[in-house]
Structure 1
Amino acid sequence: MSNVTPAQRLLVVAIVLLIVGLGIGYGVGIASAPTKVITTTTTVTAPGAVTTVTRTTTVTQTVTTTVTATPVVPVGLSGPILIGGLWPLTGELSSFGEENKVAFELAIKEVNEWLKSMGKPWYLVPVIEDSATDPKTALDKVRIMHGRGVKVIVGPMASAEIREIKSYVDANKILVISPSSTSPALAIPGDYVLRYCPDDTIQGPAIARVMFDSGVRYVVPIWRGDAWGDGLKDATVKAFTNILKKEGVEGGVVEGIRFEPGAKEFSVEVAKLVTIVDDLVGKYGLDKVGVLLISFEEVVPLFVAAGKYDILGKVKWFGSDGTAQNALLVSTKESAAFSVKTKFVSTIAAPSYSSKLEHVKQYVVKTLGRTPAPYAYNTYDAVWTVAIALNILDEYDATKIRDILPTVIENYFGASGWFKLNEAGDRAFSDYELWAILEKDGKYEWVLVGVWKGAADEIEWKIPLYK
């Protein structure tokens, strides 16, 4: 007879069927072992008996073995994926902020159309905040975004803002991609800040070459006193000094004037500048003296103030990416006129011209009525490369996105062209465009007048300004 009762057999069958039912689609395996025959021997000795009786009983037993694989839990992106856009919609970079916001929104719209065409269950949702071109405000807005679940932020634009938020984003593993922060002090490998623009160790030599080729040998710097301004001033001074040594000519850079970020009035600084320039001109002549201005939209009130002094309008002035293609500068008559008079040339990292760039450019022109500065193309590319990384990873993880982006970027040709990141996570190389304001038919407009070729340290002039 069997040791397993009919009731017990029914229970085992029920459990096995339950496991099979629960395991549909999860790779559950059921295996039944062959029937086993178990023989037991019982020896009975009757009290006082002289014989022993041995009785053998055979029991047939079926043993069932169940093997259950661990269920695979479905993973992957679905629903809204928040992506931050932190732009200086007010403050000294507001015109740049407007352009980058438009490019940001365009990229998200197109990414979502792409995802929908593939039947993807997820889509990007923008979370846009105004940094006000202010470091403290930028940090407050990053905290707000973090609280909402944002793990990737495109922006902010100013290096001072990046420096302020850096500790927070590193500690909380929030990936930040700036289209325009260029301070060499922020070129740090392994952090959570990527920059789709080159740092100012490349822009400095470009400005220095423009100044030298213009015939200037003595430079007076006046600059915005923050992480960006200090870094770019130092890089430019170093590069200009190196050119002087290499060419074996006399010249130099005086101490200059450092002003506070956010300054609105420059009568004191301009009066001091007049004294310095007048002294240098008296020693070396008008053609040998130039002013290096490193600023954001402070350029407008500063130029208005400088225009009141004849001597400042007779020497050459030079700018940077902080002023190149600035909408407020060209739309303010007094500052635009001073720019033309002083042949004010500003440098900015050069994108690669293509149909993709033209597509973004025309969208911004249609939306804002003006051609954007090249940083808008970097913003467009930032959104697209993040989206491609997300599609590959199928996971919203800032660290994994950061780690895969260099490979994505090297295999991507975007609105800003083809590029790669260096070990610090910054754009590894770039030529620089030279922009100046010219007057045409009584109207002022930004015009591309040349390109600095970094590999050769040479300028290709489209419109020779310094004949």
Structure 2
Amino acid sequence: MEVSPMSNRVAYALLLVFLLIGFGLGYMTKGGEGVTTVTKTETVTSAVSQATGLSGEVYIGALLPLTGPLGSFAENDMVVLKLAEKDVNDWLEQIGAKWRVKVLFEDTALDPKQALDKVQALHSRGVKIFIGPMASSEVKEVKGYADANKLLMISQSSTSPALAIPNDMIYRFCPPDEFQGAASARATFDLGVRYVVAVWRGDAWGDGLVDSYERAFTKLLGDSGEKGEVLGKGNGKGIRYDPDTKEFTTIASQLANIVKELVREHGADKVGVYYAGFGEYVQFVAAASQYEVLWKVRWIGSDGTALLGDIQTNEKAAKFSYETKFISPMFGTPSPLQERIASEVKRQLGRLPESYAYASYDALWLVAVALNMVDEYDPVSVAKVLPSLTQRWYGATGVFKLNENGDRAFSDYMFWMVVPSDGKYEWKLAGGYSYETGSVTWTDEFLKLIGRK
């Protein structure tokens, strides 16, 4: 059932009352060092003017890779952030606030240097709070500037464990990749694969994710006593490619040779490919699909490919993904708000949004509630409020809390697959991973696809 805008506003108004009662006069710091009393100054600087308390438009920067390999994710997030902006401003009007939120969008093109340039440009206009960047390589690039200038960055999708740092100005509303690595390793193991060739994007995100996956899969092998191996980063046997790679003929040939030998030794049902990349998967598959042996083994993806619009709309990539039973994980737990948000994205873009879009929605709401509480455009004050605020929050990404590093502390995962639908292809749910139990439950549709039902 779709939630009406009015019922949404009432729900969030009631939530704010609960939060204010729960907070009393203090808030928790990011590192959890204790409760600090909030002291408000009478005159504050907003993004547009100086006034007593917040008034007028308060700017929030949105750093999205609208062009580049994550373009479809960024388009989803833009739609959702515009929806969140409207919902927040409707709520602010209802409670009689004198200020409104205004999201300023900038294209980072998935280029770390361009991301930093955009941060600096928006900062020169008075922007001090940002949603994004999306990629860990971008976050890594802007982190020094953000910390030095006390700018608050809330990334909806940066997951590199290398950026899990306490007491900085970077918050991440998604879990670090230790959790995704464990989920994907368990799924791979449950599917009967014991020998995995890792192929990954050679940046902060890809390196960290493959490390996490290797550790988790190796532990599963050790616990089970079965033979197997990840040909990856740790042993130097995997395939790491430059993020700027546009043509994958050589890499696909290298992969085919490795897989062919593994299949000869262990059989196709024991061999899999773990792919950690973004939208360049489409170009990679164009080359990989030329090798028959690569159609015969299981493929496991990452959150960089889950629900990616470029895959479902590319005939060759979609067909290859369907035939190889390619599955990709995305963090998240269903929540009532997701239906309304997903409906808006599907109406405008014709596809389902990824979980990062839901995290963007929550990020703007949480920033708005925090700003209303501290009543000043001060990123440091907002940052101090966020850890306690998230513990009392139930939004588009469900219930969550931040750990000592300012990252989402834990999460379940959903696995997605590409299937034919009315002459086209669409993403469908294949299964779910429980963080609490460490197990995967597959949907009947996926079990039928792989011949287990």
TM over 0.5: yes
Q: Which of the numbers 406, 409, 413 marks the counterpart of 2:387?
A: 406
Is residue 120 of structure 2 the alignment partner of residue 143 of structure 1? yes
Q: What is the TM-score with the length of structure 1 in the denominator? A: 0.83
**Aligned residue in 2 for 1:415:** 396
Q: Deviations over 1:339-395 (max 9, x none)?
A: 0111101001023231x1111111111121211111100000000000000111111
Structure-1 separation of matches of 2:386 and 2:248: 43
Q: Is residue 352–residue 418 contact of structure 1 (8 Å, CA) maintained in 2?
A: no
Q: Deviations over 1:179-230 (max 9, x none)?
A: 1100000000111010000000100010101111111100000000000000
Q: Which of the numbers 354, 371, 375 marks the counterpart of 1:373?
A: 354
Q: Deviations over 1:83-140 (max 9, x none)?
A: 1011010001000000011111111111111111222111111111000011111010
**Aligned residue in 1 for 2:183:** 206
Where does the alignment leave 5 or more consecutive residues of structure 1 unmatched? 1-71
**Aligned residue in 2 for 1:332:** 314
Is residue 296 of structure 2 the alignment partner of residue 314 of structure 1? yes
After superposing the two structures, state which structure 1 stretch, 120-129 or 237-246, moved more. Answer: 120-129
Pick 1 or 2: higher relative contact order, CA cutoff 8 A, min separation 6: 2
**Aligned residue in 2 for 1:85:** 62
> Kindly tell me: are residues 110 and 314 of structure 1, through their superposed partners in 2, closer, same or farther at Cα, counting changes over 3 Å?
same
**Aligned residue in 1 for 2:249:** 267
Structure-2 separation of matches of 1:317 and 1:111: 41
Is residue 370 of structure 2 the alignment partner of residue 384 of structure 1? no
Structure 1 SS opposite 2:60: strand
5 Å matches for 1:2-401?
Answer: 75-254=52-231, 255-354=237-336, 356-401=337-382
Structure-1 separation of matches of 2:413 and 2:271: 23
Q: Is residue 419–residue 428 contact of structure 1 (8 Å, CA) maintained in 2?
A: yes
Structure-2 separation of matches of 1:179 and 1:166: 15
Structure 2 SS opposite 1:124: strand
Deviation at 1:441, TM superposition (A): 4.2
Structure-1 separation of matches of 2:264 and 2:129: 54
Structure-2 separation of matches of 1:262 and 1:365: 30
**Aligned residue in 1 for 2:405:** 424
Structure-1 separation of matches of 2:378 and 2:335: 33
Structure-2 separation of matches of 1:375 and 1:298: 19
Structure 2 SS opposite 1:317: strand
Deviation at 1:431, TM superposition (A): 0.6
Amino acid at match of 2:298: K
Amino acid at match of 1:190: N
Identity rate of aligned residues, in percent?
Answer: 49
Deviation at 1:75, TM superposition (A): 2.6
Q: Deviations over 1:283-334 (max 9, x none)?
A: 1111111000000001001111111110111111110100001101111000
Q: Is residue 87–residue 156 contact of structure 1 (8 Å, CA) maintained in 2?
A: yes
Structure 2 SS opposite 1:399: helix
Amino acid at match of 2:288: A
Structure 2 SS opposite 1:261: coil
Q: Is residue 335–residue 395 contact of structure 2 (8 Å, CA) maintained in 1?
A: no
5 Å matches for 1:437-452?
Answer: 437-452=418-433
Q: Deviations over 1:384-431 (max 9, x none)?
A: 000000111111100010000111111121111111101100111111
Q: Is residue 326–residue 418 contact of structure 2 (8 Å, CA) maintained in 1?
A: yes
Amino acid at match of 2:105: I
Structure-2 separation of matches of 1:260 and 1:200: 20
**Aligned residue in 1 for 2:29:** none
**Aligned residue in 2 for 1:54:** none
Structure-2 separation of matches of 1:78 and 1:353: 32
Q: Is residue 412–residue 435 contact of structure 2 (8 Å, CA) maintained in 1?
A: yes
Where does the alignment leave 5 or more consecutive residues of structure 2 unmatched? 1-41, 44-50, 232-236
After superposing the two structures, state which structure 1 stretch, 369-378 or 379-388, moved more. Answer: 369-378
Structure-2 separation of matches of 1:125 and 1:353: 26
Amino acid at match of 1:171: A
Any runs of at least 4 consecutive aligned residues in structure 1 with deviations exceeding 3 A, and if so which? Answer: none
Q: Is residue 350–residue 431 contact of structure 1 (8 Å, CA) maintained in 2?
A: yes
Structure-2 separation of matches of 1:162 and 1:247: 38
Q: Is residue 224–residue 230 contact of structure 1 (8 Å, CA) maintained in 2?
A: yes
**Aligned residue in 2 for 1:63:** none
Structure 2 SS opposite 1:308: coil
Structure 2 SS opposite 1:91: coil
Q: Is residue 312–residue 318 contact of structure 2 (8 Å, CA) maintained in 1?
A: yes
Structure-1 separation of matches of 2:219 and 2:406: 27
Deviation at 1:443, TM superposition (A): 2.4
Structure-1 separation of matches of 2:95 and 2:195: 60
**Aligned residue in 2 for 1:34:** none
Structure-2 separation of matches of 1:114 and 1:312: 52
**Aligned residue in 2 for 1:60:** none
Structure-2 separation of matches of 1:209 and 1:151: 40
Amino acid at match of 1:418: V
Structure-2 separation of matches of 1:347 and 1:178: 18
Q: Which of the numbers 439, 454, 459 marks the counterpart of 2:440?
A: 459
The structure having more radius of gyration, on CA atoms, is 1
Structure-2 separation of matches of 1:121 and 1:442: 51
Q: Deviations over 1:139-193 (max 9, x none)?
A: 1000001101001000111000000100000000000001110000000011101
